[in-house]
Amino acid sequence: MKNEGEGSERPDNTAFTQQRLPAWQPILSAGIVIPGFLIIGLAFIGIGIGLFLTSQTIQVLEMDYTGVEKDSPCFRCTIQSSQNCTCDVTFSLSTLFTGPVFFYYGLSNYFQNFRKYGVSKDYYQLTGDTKYFKSPQDVCAPYAYDSKSNPIVPCGAIANSMFNDTFELYQIINGTKKQVPLDGKGISWWTDYNIKYRNPSPVNGSFANAFEGTVKPINWPKAAYELDLTDPYNNGFLNQDFLVWMRRSALPQFRKLYRRITEGDYSAGLPAGNYSLTVHYNYPVLSFDGRKKVVFSNVSWMGGKNDFLGIAYLVVGSLCVVMSVVMLIVYAKFKFSDDDA
């Protein structure tokens, strides 16, 4: 294969060529493995206990408001197809729901992770590239053009199916409703808001003019440039709700952050009492047997409530300890006798 070059053919005497590189060769000796397992096991049990206890302190309140059952408050919204159906879901808290409280909406049996669904958006449109406003990419089909062949912005199935229920939360104090302020800022990923999505630059000073010649997604009540007319930084493709929706979920059952409750009287959390959640029921899920719910939750250092992790740690930790004991027994039984022999 290779000529070794001129002069002597003697190969170089280096550690590399002679395969004498210093190496560390771990051996699975009893002295390492058994204590190793024991230590890992104990550590895992410790972590598991910590996680489990932390997880226990987290409060979660989940309410299904799909309205499948006849007696549920939103049942009427499921049968009539009126645009502005609202229903009130009431609940009461017996103790303080410690803040900051996160307010999620959740969907189940909803396949945001379906491949065809997932690719159905135009990255270029969403970076504010107006060239693609006129001609959305093929992947958006059949939500690229409306029936009159007008390009849809933002195109695609994801945008088209944006979740459009809205919620208002009231605390009922002595029969009067006191609105709980919901903070919708910063609920999306920082990178999404600052880097990944861009609005088109305004044309003639008007943001809406940039969307000239395009139509809104079929399911949308209003165009992208009208998503939040009060706050230009929360409008268009940078609308927080839009960004949250566009970040697809990995599993068919998911929840997405809707609002945070951090302001005013509620910065310490939701005090005990009765609450009423007004749902503007727009989003149809019953056709595919889907469910909608709202979730209130607070978090710890380890995130939201997650018993699984703690339990898994506990289980694995105890298995490790058991294994180490088994190995010790086996080792004692076989190895020692071997050594004597």
CB of 159 to another protein, least distance (A): 11
Q: How far apart are CA 98 and CA 191, in angstroms?
A: 28
> Contact with another protein (CB under 8 A): which of 252, 271, 273, 318?
252
Q: Closer to another protein at the Cβ: 8 or 174?
A: 8
CB of 161 to another protein, least distance (A): 4
Q: How far apart are CA 141 and CA 15, in angstroms?
A: 61
CB of 202 to another protein, least distance (A): 25
Q: Closer to another protein at the Cβ: 73 or 200?
A: 200
Is 192 one of the binding residues for another protein (CB under 8 A)? Answer: yes
Q: How far apart are CA 137 and CA 160, in angstroms?
A: 15
Q: Closer to another protein at the Cβ: 172 or 323?
A: 323
Do the Cβ atoms of 63 and 293 come closer than 8 Å? Answer: yes
93: its two tokens: 């808290």
Q: Could you give the dihedral angle defined by the CA atoms of residues 56, 61, 66 and 69, in that order, rounded to the nearest 10 degrees?
A: 90
Residue 183: DSSP 8-state: B
> Where in 49-108 is the site for another protein (CB under 8 A)?
51, 100, 102, 104
CB of 227 to another protein, least distance (A): 19
x/- site string to another protein, residues 137 to 156, per CB under 8 A?
Answer: -x--xx--------------
For another protein (CB under 8 A), the number of binding residues is 97
b/e map 69-90, b = 16+ CB within 10 Å: eeebbbeebbeeeeeebbbebe
Residue 291: DSSP 8-state: E
CB of 281 to another protein, least distance (A): 16
Q: How far apart are CA 241 and CA 182, in angstroms?
A: 13
CB of 306 to another protein, least distance (A): 5
Is 268 one of the binding residues for another protein (CB under 8 A)? Answer: no
Amino acid (one-letter) located at 152: I
CB of 290 to another protein, least distance (A): 8
Under 8 Å CB-to-CB from 68, ≥6 apart: which residues? 75, 78, 286, 291
Do the Cβ atoms of 329 and 130 come closer than 8 Å? Answer: no
Q: Closer to another protein at the Cβ: 92 or 267?
A: 267
From 68-76, 171-179, 221-229, 320-328, give the range in contact with another protein by CB under 8 A.
320-328
Is 209 one of the binding residues for another protein (CB under 8 A)? Answer: no
CB of 251 to another protein, least distance (A): 5
Q: How far apart are CA 61 and CA 80, in angstroms?
A: 28
Q: Closer to another protein at the Cβ: 249 or 278?
A: 249
Tell which phi-psi region holds residue 131, choosing left (phi > 0), alpha (psi between -120 and 50) or beta: alpha
Is 253 one of the binding residues for another protein (CB under 8 A)? Answer: yes
Reduced to 3 states (helix: H, G, I; strand: E, B; else coil), residue 118 is helix
Q: How far apart are CA 317 and CA 40, in angstroms?
A: 7
CB of 92 to another protein, least distance (A): 23
Is 131 one of the binding residues for another protein (CB under 8 A)? Answer: no
> Contact with another protein (CB under 8 A): which of 65, 152, 155, 161?
161
> Where in 222-251 is the site for another protein (CB under 8 A)?
247-251
Is 10 one of the binding residues for another protein (CB under 8 A)? Answer: yes
Do the Cβ atoms of 335 and 327 come closer than 8 Å? Answer: no
